Structures are given as structure tokens and as C-alpha cells.
Amino acid sequence: MLTGESVPVIKNSLKPTEDFFDLENEEASKKITLFSGTKVIQARNTGGQSCTALVVRTGFVTTKGSLVRDILYPKPVNFKFYRESVYFVFAMALVALSGFAISFNKLKEDYTNTKDLIKRSLDLITIAVPPALPATMSVGVSFAIRRLRLVNIFCISPPRVNISGMLQIMVFDKTGTLTEDGLEVKGVVGCLGAKGDNGDPKFAMFTESIGQLLPQQLKDLSKYLLYNSVKLNEAMACCHSLTYVNGLLVGDPLDIEMFNSTNWLLDESRSLNGSVRPRDQNIAYELEICRRFDFESKLQRMCSIVKNTSDN
């Protein structure tokens, strides 16, 4: 709700070996932080150990609190209309003062009554500088807020009314409006690692049957393309942020589709991060996910450390 996540997100515990962690680093700390207002739908531990959490922010200092604070106490709007209206009043005041000085000397020659002299001179200031300008603007905004309230639109920041009144086109965008909410893996193009004549990496042929390649085929290591494809299949099966919630596989839609295309199974019963194995029960081959390093948007990569349970 607060982080903009549309799917459940896995949070990792802080490792005992990490005796220091920079909580001010939002990119790193959000992976171990539960935000106020977040609904925890599942929790797991190993060995029956209890979990200890540290409260680092409360009240308006939290992410949810700062959001509420921005709504209740919005920042002042640097609206060009108000700024220029102040300049206008200031300029007219200078003109009025100049006219007042000139007319005062002129009227002084014609009038001997001091009261009439001051009254006639001040008339110029009241005409040049409209004293009702701020009141008129406030009344106009008040009427606008009242009309909005009649259609159940409430405004707690009156200066925003003038800004919204200047809008002519409002565009909304939502993922899924023009695109489908599903993905489908057509195939994989593996990288051979070797460099070509122009220095670019060489790529294997496009293959759609990536999920049919099994570890038992690794015995024939002479087939380099086959070996590379099987290793890629293992990486796709292990490197993701998926978990089971109420028997359903949840996580990023790209991860779900990628994992399903491998034709492997995810087992979370024996380890904290789970293990994966081919769907074919006749193949005694299993990879345990020892540690998961979540996707880093800056590095554009993710990695997992896995262990082959047959030979450790």
C-alpha cells in the first residue's frame, strides 16, 4: 500500500554477522524493513527460533506518517498568479506614492484646508491600490470550495483550487489498460561467452524447449550449447523471489512465468529459502537455495547461492 508493490514482497532478516547496517540507505534497508501499514501474510523461520524486531521510526517519521503529514499539512504552493499579484500591488503602490507626492504639492497651492488636502491626496492611493483585491480572491476561492463540497469533493488547501482551475487536460495511466496482466515465455537465447570478431559476445540459437533440458543431460559435456542451456535453466529456477502463500505461487509476474517455464518445482518445507528440483520424479537432483541476493535496480541483476544436495 505504501511502497507501491502490486504483489507480495519477500522481506529478509538481518544476518547475525552484519553487526552494522545503514538504516538511512533506503535502497538497502527496505529489504529488511517492515513498513507501517503493511499486512504480513506469511512468516517462516528455521529451527523454531523466535524473531526479534527493532522499531526504528514511529509516528509522523515513518513512511506512512510522512504521507499523512503531507496530506494534512501540504507544502505552500509557489503559484505564479499569487506572486505576480503581489508584484502588481507593489508596482501600483509605487505609482500611487509618486502621484501622492506630486498631487500633494499641487493641491497645497490650491487648498488651504488641511483636512481636505489630506483627503484628496489619499484618494489617489485608494484608487491605484485596490484594497479589496485579497478579499475578492479569497471570496472567489471560498465559493469554489463550496461548489466542490456539494459534489463530495473536499479541499483542505485552498490555493490548490486556482491551480486545478487552470488544468485543461488530465491524463491517467494504469498498467494493464493497454497491456495484458500476464506474460508468456516464448524461449531463451543463451550467451556462449566467447567474443566474436567485432568484440561482441556470441549468442546461441533461439530455443523454445528450455524447460525440457534436464541435469542428467549434463553428462555429455562435449555439447557446449546443451551444457550452457541446462545451466541457464537452473539459474532461472533458482534466481527469483517467489514463495507459496496458501498453496499459490506469488511474486513478480515475470519471476512466476520464468520459473514455470523451467518445468521445475519449488519446495519450501526443508529450508528457509527453499529448494528446487525437476518436475520429473525419476530424477534425483535437487538444488537448495542457501542465500538470495535480491534484485538491485542500480546493478540490474540478482543472484542466488545454491547447493547441490547430492554432493553438497
At 126-145, the pLDDT tens digits run: 777 777 777 887 888 899 99
Region 67-78: what's the mean pLDDT?
Answer: 80
- Cell numbers 463530495 correspond to what residue? 152
Q: Where does residue 152 fall: left (phi above 0), alpha (psi -120 to 50 degrees), or beta otherwise?
A: left
Torsion of CA 136, 137, 140, 145, to 10 degrees: -140
Region 183-210: what's the mean pLDDT?
Answer: 72
What's the rounded Cα separation, in Å, for the pair 225 and 142? 73
* pLDDT tens-digit readout, 228-237: 667 778 888 8
SS in 3 state form for 273-311?
Answer: CCEEEECCCCCCCCEEEEEEEEEECCCCEEEEEEEECCC
Residues near 203 by beta carbon (within 8 Å), at least 6 away in sequence: 189, 190, 191, 192
What's the rounded Cα separation, in Å, for the pair 56 and 60? 12
Confidence of residue 1 (pLDDT cuts 50, 70, 90): very low
What's the rounded Cα separation, in Å, for the pair 93 and 171? 42
* pLDDT tens-digit readout, 256-281: 888 888 888 998 887 778 899 888 77
Using the 8-state DSSP alphabet, how is residue 1 labeled? -
pLDDT at 226: 56
Confidence of residue 122 (pLDDT cuts 50, 70, 90): confident
Active site amino acids: 173
Do the Cβ atoms of 66 and 58 come closer than 8 Å? no
pLDDT at 151: 94
Confidence of residue 222 (pLDDT cuts 50, 70, 90): very low
Confidence of residue 74 (pLDDT cuts 50, 70, 90): confident
